[in-house]
Amino acid sequence: MSRPLLLNPREGMELVGLVKHLNQDKINRFAGVSGGTSLIHLDPDFAEKTRFRYTVAHGILLIAYISEMMKNNFGPPWFTSGDMDVRFVGPAKPGDTLVGRGEILRIETVENRSRVSCSVRIENHRGEKVAEGQTQVSWELRESKGANANK
Amino acid sequence: MPPNKSVDWDSWEVGRELGTSIIVVTKELISSYVQAVEDYDPIYLNPADGKEAGFGGLVAPPSFHAQFTYMKWATGDAGWVPHGSFHVQQKFQFRGIVHEGDHLHTKVVMGEKYEKKGRKYVVYQTTVTNQRGEMVCAGEMINVLAS
């Protein structure tokens, strides 16, 4: 595994972001593995009659992007202590370039663990937010959160 | 448990179990998921990389077990999410590493329902445990029902 990108997290620090180029094939592929086969994701004719007027990506796909960003930044602790609470505030549609961003809000010590709270969001290439929320991740103070932290 | 085809506001019973399923995590399932979300971290693709990283072998992304089992029920076969409803919020707690070969047992129950600003919200609560009974993930999917 690549090492965590944030080796020395500090309050106010920006997370290393992530970019995804969305298209209908990718939405279809995600529907295939997840079983999320609602027509709003897959059928442009159906979607045209909805308030969105076009197909939209699964909210859970956006969750996967945020989770990837947290894993990239914090490494193994995200697998065993990751918390996320994300609201879907706008549609992500085929053709969008999605950018994941985040910032460290707080770093606390709780019961011999270092706990990091972040704000996270995904924006499209027009700067419109499609998802936003909070995440938390923690690790024991005596542990490194590096690549072999779970040994 | 057979899928429930009549989930709606009036029939929503807090605490009622909607269903369970068991999925065996295979290298192929992990690979398919990784391609779908375009996270090609080698720990998801190569057992040696997973081992070197301290995971003991091939692992699945944290979001793998959370959504894979969940969505298949929610909008695939079961019809649990009423047509026209919107997924507006999602919470997850990741609490365990999932390896190739693990058996994931997922349970979904009806969480709270509430009204806010004239809209009706329902919460689907999911827990995923492995073959040792360890919880690896808990989630809440919050949906607004179509009016």
CATH number of the domain within which B72 lies: 3.10.129.10
- Which positions in chain A have a beta carbon within 8 angstroms of at least one beta carbon in chain B? 1-2, 20, 26, 29-30, 32-38, 58-61, 63-65, 67-68, 71, 76, 78-88, 147-151
Nearest CA to A93 out of A135, A139, A53 is that of: A53
**What are the chain B neighbours of A83 within 8 Å (beta carbons)?**
91-94
Task: Grade residue B82 by pLDDT with cuts at 50, 70 and 90.
Answer: low
Query: What is the Cβ-side half-sphere exposure of residue A34, based on CA atoms within 13 angstroms?
Result: 31
Q: Is residue B125 situated within a structural domain?
A: yes
Question: Taking residues B47-70, what's their average pLDDT?
Answer: 87
CATH number of the domain within which A80 lies? 3.10.129.10
Of residues B76, B62, B74, B142, the one with CA closest to residue A63: B62
Q: Where are the alpha helices (DSSP H) in chain A?
A: 24-34, 39-42, 44-48, 59-74, 77-81
Dump strand ranges (E) for chain A.
18-21, 83-88, 97-110, 113-123, 129-140
A85:B89 CB<8 A: yes
CA-CA distances (angstroms) from residue B45 to B32, B57, B94? 10, 10, 20
| Number of neighbouring beta carbons within 10 Å of residue A45 | 8
B44-51 long-range contacts (CB < 8 A, ≥24 apart) are: B47/B100, B49/A1, B50/A1, B50/B99
The verdict on residue B1 lying in a domain is: no
Contacts of B19 by beta carbon, 8 Å cutoff, 6+ apart: B1, B2, B3, B4, B73, B78, B80, B107, B108
Q: Which carries the bigger pLDDT value, residue A3 or residue B90?
A: B90
Q: Which residues of A touch B53 (CB under 8 A)?
A: 1, 76, 147-148
Q: Cβ neighbours of residue B144 under 8 Å, at least 6 residues apart?
A: B85, B86, B88, B119, B120, B121
Interface contact B76-A37, CB threshold 8 A: yes
CA distance A117 to A107: 6
Touching check for B121 and chain A: CB below 8 Å? no
Asked whether the beta carbons of residue B38 and residue A147 sit closer than 8 angstroms, the reply is no
Confirm whether pTM is higher than 0.80: yes
Neighbours of A104 (CB within 10 A): 18
pLDDT digits (tens, 9 = 90+) for B84-143: 778 899 999 999 999 999 999 988 899 999 999 999 999 999 999 999 999 999 999 999
Cβ-nearest to A79 among B62, B77, B90: B62
Q: What count of CB pairs under 8 Å joins A to B?
A: 132
pLDDT tens string A45-92: 999 998 899 999 999 999 999 999 999 999 999 999 999 999 999 999
Tell me, yes or no, whether B139 lies in a domain.
yes
Look up the domain containing A124 and give its range. 18-22+56-140
What are the chain B neighbours of A150 within 8 Å (beta carbons)?
Answer: 54-55, 97
Kindly state whether residue A94 falls inside one of the protein's structural domains.
yes
B89/A68 CB distance under 8 A? no
Whether residue B55 is contained in a domain is answered as: no
Task: Find residues 27-56 of chain B whose CB sits inside 8 Å of chain A.
Answer: 29, 32-33, 35-39, 41-43, 49-50, 52-55
Backbone angles phi, psi at B59, to 5 degrees: -125, 165
CB contact under 8 A, B36 and A29: yes
Please compute, for residue B120, the number of CA atoms within 13 A of its CA located in the half-sphere on the CB side.
10
CB contact under 8 A, A34 and B72: yes
In a domain, B65, yes or no: yes
Number of compact structural domains in chain B: 1
Domain count, chain A: 1
Q: Note whether residue B69 is domain-resident.
A: yes
Structural domain of residue B112, as residue ranges? 17-25+60-144
Q: ipTM value of the model?
A: 0.91
Percent of chain A with pLDDT over 70: 92
The residue among A51 and A146 whose pLDDT is bigger is A51
Asked if residue B51 belongs to a domain, the reply is no
Evaluate whether residue A31 is within a structural domain: no
Is A122 part of any domain? yes
Residues on chain B touching A65 (C-beta within 8 angstroms): 37
CA B78, distance to chain mean position in Å, is: 14
Which residues are paired to A102 by β-bridges? A120
With respect to residue B67, please indicate whether it lies within any of the assigned structural domains: yes
Distance CA B109, CA A83 (A): 20
